[in-house]
Structure 1
Amino acid sequence: MTKVRGKPHNPMVNAGAIVICSLIKMGYNKAEKFDYVMQFLTKMTGNEYVGFSNSTFQSEKETGDRNYAIAYYLKEKKCFPNEADMMAALDFYFQLCSIEVTCESGSVIAATLANGGICPITGERLLSAEAVRSTLSLMHSCGMYDFSGQFAFHVGLPAKSGVSGAVLLVVPNVMGVFCWSPPLDKVGNSLRGIQFCQELTSLFNFHNYDNLRHCARKLDPRREHGEVRNQTVVNLLFAAYSGDVSALRRFALSAMDMEQKDYDSRTALHVAAAEGHLDVVKFLVEACRVNPFVKDRWGNIPLQDAIQFNHLEVVKLLQDYQETYSAFLQQDAAAPASAEDVSKENLESMV
Structure 2
Amino acid sequence: MTKHGTLGVAVIGTGRMGADHVRRINAVTSGARVAAVVDIDAERAKQLADGIDGCTAYTDPAGAMASPDVDAVLIASPGPVHEAALLQAFERDLPVLCEKPLTPDAASALRVLEAEQKLGHRRVQVGFMRRYDAEYLKLKALLDSGQFGRTLLLHCRHRNASTPPGFTSQMMINDSVVHEIDTTRWLLEQEITAVTVLRPRPSSAAPDGLADPQFVLFETAGGAVVDVEIFVNCGWGYQVQCEAVCESGSARVGDGHAMVTNAAGRWGGEIDADFVSRFEDAYDREVQQWVDATRRGEVEGPTAWDGYAAAAVCEAGVRAQATGERTSTNLVERPALYR
TM-score, with structure 1 as normaliser: 0.24
Report which of the two has the higher share of strand: 2
Higher Cα radius of gyration? 1
Higher RCO, 1 vs 2 (CA within 8 Å, ≥6 residues apart)? 2
TM-score, with structure 2 as normaliser: 0.25
